Structure 1
Amino acid sequence: MAQYDHLPPGVLPFMVSREAAAALVGVSTSKFDEMVGDGRMPEPRKADARVLWDTDELRAACRLLPRRSGKAHDGGNSWDRVLA
C-alpha cells in the first residue's frame, strides 16, 4: 500500500481505496464488490470524487461474517441484532 507510506509504521489509515479495502478483508476486488453489493461489506463513502471505505466499518463487517461452521461469532445470528 505505497500510498500510505507517509503514515508511521503500524498506523492504519481511517479511510482506504477499494483495492486496499479488498486487501484488508483478504479477498479480490471482484469478490469485495460482490460482498458490498450483497451487504456483507459496507458501502463506501465519498470525499469529492474519491470513493473510500472506513476501516472501522470494514472491521465491524468482518466480525459479522459467519464462522466456517456457519454460526456467527457468538453462536447466534448477529444480523438479527443489527437489523432489529
Structure 2
Amino acid sequence: MTKHDRPHTLLPRGLSREEAAEYIGISPSKFDELVKIGTMPPPKEIGARRIWDRHGLDSAFDDLPSVAEKNPFDGVKA
C-alpha cells in the first residue's frame, strides 16, 4: 500500500519534516527553528530517514502556551 492508496481515515504515525510542519500548521523553516530550540521534538531515525512521531508532535503542541483572552474589565476603574 502506497501513501496515495491509504484510506483517508488511516493517519500515519510517522511524518516527514514537511508533513510534520504542515500537521502543526507552520512552515518547514519555522518547524526547524522549533526543533532546534526544543519546542518541537527531534525526529526518530529509521534507516537513513528522519521521521517525526505524530504523538510526540501532539504532546509538544499541547505544551505550547495559549494566548490569554483579553479581560473586558481590564482598565475599568471601580
Length-normalised TM-score, structure 1: 0.75
Query: After TM superposition, what 4+ stretches of structure 1 lie above 4 angstroms from structure 2?
Result: none
SS state of the match for residue 51, structure 2?
strand
Q: Larger relative CO (CA 8 A, sep 6+): 1 or 2?
A: 2
Whole-Å separation in 2 of the counterparts to 1:7 and 1:52: 18
- Equivalent pairs, count: 68
SS state of the match for residue 59, structure 2?
helix
1:26 maps onto 2:25 in alignment: yes
Amino acid at match of 1:9: H
Whole-Å separation in 1 of the counterparts to 2:60 and 2:3: 23
RMSD (CA atoms): 1.6
Whole-Å separation in 1 of the counterparts to 2:63 and 2:24: 12
SS state of the match for residue 4, structure 1?
coil
The aligned residue for residue 43 of structure 2 is 44
Higher Rg of the two aligned structures: 2
The aligned residue for residue 72 of structure 1 is none
> Shift in Å at residue 7 of structure 1?
1.7
Structure 1: any 5+ residue segments left out of the alignment?
A: 70-84
The aligned residue for residue 7 of structure 2 is 8
Identity of aligned residues (%): 42
Structure 2: any 5+ residue segments left out of the alignment?
A: 69-78
* Higher helix content, 1 or 2: 1
Whole-Å separation in 1 of the counterparts to 2:33 and 2:3: 25
Length-normalised TM-score, structure 2: 0.80
